[in-house]
Amino acid sequence: MRALLLLALAFALSAADKVAPTVDRLIETRAAGGARISPDGKWVAYSVTAPDWKADAFVSQIWLVEVTGGKAVQLTRATGTGASNAQWSPDSRLLTFTTSRDGGKAQVYAIRPDGGEAFPLTKSETAVGGYEWAPDGKWIAYVASEPEAKPRKERKESFGEFEVVRRDYSFQQLSVIDAVKAMDAPQEGKALTKGTAYTVTGFQWAPDSTRIAFSATRNPDLTQSHTSDIWVLTVADGTAKKIVDQPYSDNDPKWSPDGAQIVFSSAMGKAVSHANRRLAVVSANGGAVRSITDGFDENPSLVEWRKDGVYFSGLQKTASHLFRVDAASGKITRVTPAQSLLPGGFSFTADGETMAFSAASPTTLSEIYVSPVARFAARKLTDFTAAVSDLVLGTREVISWKSKDGALIEGILIKPAEFDASKKYPLLCIIHGGPTGIDRPALLDARYYPSDIWAARGAVILKVNYRGSAGYGEKFRQLNVRNLGVGDAWDVISGVDHLIAQGFVDAKRVGCMGWSQGGYISAFLTTSSDRFAAISVGAGISNWATYYYNTDITQFTINYLGADPAKDPEIYRKTSPMTHVLQAKTPTLIQHGELDRRVPIANAYELRQGLENRGVPVEMIVYKGYGHGITKPKSMRAVMNHNLAWFNHHLWNDPPPDFTIAK
């Protein structure tokens, strides 16, 4: 009994020592990702991103840990954007990565896992994007934009900078270097593709190191992403043959172990982005295309083709798993068991017996794990979660409810650490983007919306996986086709009503926020509902016609609404927040990047003026120099603090914020 009392006292003291998170602590929280196990199974390399406040940049570095266990070590200390895209040489003697140093273009560097200085392997005139070692270790292929042509340089010298829309492109091409010679001095790549027939988007070496399979679109414009086809290139003479020429997107090719076939991600001729993609197989010489994942009702993410089958990862509701499909029969086997971990980013040893991956959970940050492939038994190699052990963090669980039309909706409920169901709590709804994004029960939220700060203050948070979200199958993703905003609003409001009915939510203190598609849903709610005390609209659409004519992904609108505004003005009217602005009452904060091309900032100005005309309290903040996302730590600090101040005033009666003053 005395031991139990001492244990209880120790727990109480430990809990009392914990502190509420701050915005800076959330931004500075580090976690692991991008696990790459060495071919010999000795090491796992991974990336860690942290803010550099002085440089005002998020910087990624490569870390290394032995599979047998031991202390993880930071391998790179590059400045600027840091180091990323770690890969192993086939003999495991070198770890390579891309980095830009001394203000130059990103190049491939190499370092030995046991230490030493990193040294460059490539000397490309333009920045290196994706790259890969040939299986024989003699070559490295990479993708980079073509250097600026002489006529373009002369035009700039005479007339300054301008762009001819959908005419001026920089095509991505494949190049190769001799990896052996590059050990002595960095090499300029030998171009394997050239011209304007296509732009390369992804590739993989054949097992015999003589061919490369690659995907390519008609040009780099995002509106042409659906034109992606599969090619096979013979390295010796540079000849390329298109082996898949289907309507709509086919990409991410990977070779069979014997080099006879290629598996790839395919739209299988479907024009819409909300339909399931498939994994498909074709002969390396071309021919009939055959889908092998018709039995998987989600989007498979191709990992690798091993001797025992094609491995892919995929969502099942809020869980994620590794699967294996037999390329001949299409039989699918789930490799990872039901568990609290949410794994992703899988890589394999050369013999295929061991895999590494990163995974978060409701109680842990993203960590690095290894496991045998044949019989899953995850073993953790890192402990980034220990760094937040002093913080009071909310608990996370998956809940479900029925929407207005009977659709079953799930969400992530975050409760205060000392939740008491007999009390009344403010409720904050956070809505993800996409619409085919998904919220999952994992620690913690360190961008845009500081949910754990609000949980520590005594709020519950609902993250709604509204219709259209990934993980729930094709039919669910298509429930908001020609019903955007309307059906999404049903899902959010029904979730709020569900929690109010539980008895622990104060119906008068409910807020809503979201970025991108989540910002659009928030804008729809602020103009069509009076259920919320305050709303924050981040990079959200306010008028679908405005959006369609200005966005860089016009096809997205057609996919969901079915036609352009001239052909079907009614569907644009029905689904646009501005249609309902006459009934708007909710105090609204609008946040937007100045240079946003995905959701052009005209949407923000339109909503702001419409609310002001109605006398609705509105604040609009433009983050200078940013596109669709906020990518620097100081501005991320601003976004989070602006949201804190807005909702703290409207839900807790804190003093009204003055956003012109930095706090």
In the prediction, which pLDDT does 419 show?
97
Q: What is the pLDDT of residues 344-387, one digit of tens each?
A: 999 999 999 999 999 999 999 999 999 999 999 999 999 999 99
In this prediction, residue 71 has a pLDDT band, given cuts at 50, 70 and 90, of confident
The verdict on residue 358 lying in a domain is no
In this prediction, residue 69 has a pLDDT band, given cuts at 50, 70 and 90, of confident
Instruction: Name the strands in the sheet holding 534-538, side by side, starting at the edge strand that comes first in the sequence.
Output: 395-402, 408-415, 460-465, 425-431, 505-515, 534-538, 588-593, 618-623
C-alpha closest to that of 35 among 106, 89, 88, 94: 88
In contact, 471 and 418? CB cutoff 8 Å = no
In the prediction, which pLDDT does 7 show?
39
Average pLDDT over residues 454-481: 97
Q: What is the pLDDT of residues 437-459, one digit of tens each?
A: 999 999 999 899 999 999 999 99
Q: Is the pLDDT score of 201 beyond 70?
A: yes
Q: What is the pLDDT of residues 249-262, one digit of tens each?
A: 999 999 999 999 99
Rounded Cα–Cα distance for residues 516 and 521 (Å): 9
Average pLDDT, the chain: 94
Domain that holds residue 539: 391-652
pTM: 0.94
Rounded Cα–Cα distance for residues 121 and 144 (Å): 14
In the prediction, which pLDDT does 14 show?
59
The verdict on residue 86 lying in a domain is no
In the prediction, which pLDDT does 16 show?
72
pLDDT > 70: percent of the chain:
97
In contact, 480 and 435? CB cutoff 8 Å = yes
Q: Is the pLDDT score of 1 beyond 60?
A: no
Buried b (16+ CB within 10 A) or exposed e, 336-369: beeeebbbbbbbbbbeeebbbbbbbbbebbbbbb
In the prediction, which pLDDT does 64 show?
97
The verdict on residue 414 lying in a domain is yes
In the prediction, which pLDDT does 271 show?
81
In contact, 353 and 373? CB cutoff 8 Å = yes
Q: Which long-range contacts (CB under 8 A, 24 or more apart) does 102-107 make?
A: 106/81, 107/186
In 165-218, which ranges are E strands?
172-178, 190-191, 199-205, 211-217
In the prediction, which pLDDT does 10 show?
40
The verdict on residue 538 lying in a domain is yes
Average pLDDT over residues 567-572: 97
pLDDT > 90: percent of the chain:
91
Q: Is the pLDDT score of 102 beyond 80?
A: no
Q: Is the pLDDT score of 114 beyond 80?
A: yes
CATH classification at residue 450: 3.40.50.1820
The verdict on residue 634 lying in a domain is yes
In this prediction, residue 136 has a pLDDT band, given cuts at 50, 70 and 90, of very high
Rounded Cα–Cα distance for residues 35 and 369 (Å): 8
The verdict on residue 311 lying in a domain is no
In the prediction, which pLDDT does 6 show?
39
DSSP summary character for residue 225: G
In the prediction, which pLDDT does 15 show?
63
In contact, 279 and 302? CB cutoff 8 Å = yes
Q: Is the pLDDT score of 405 beyond 50?
A: yes
Q: What is the pLDDT of residues 508-557, one digit of tens each?
A: 999 999 999 999 999 999 999 999 999 999 999 999 999 999 999 999 99
In this prediction, residue 80 has a pLDDT band, given cuts at 50, 70 and 90, of confident
Q: How many domains does the chain have?
A: 1
In the prediction, which pLDDT does 401 show?
98
The verdict on residue 107 lying in a domain is no
Q: Please give the angle made by the CA atoms of 11, 13 and 14, to the nearest 5 degrees.
A: 60
Q: Is the pLDDT score of 243 beyond 70?
A: yes
The verdict on residue 489 lying in a domain is yes
Rounded Cα–Cα distance for residues 21 and 387 (Å): 12
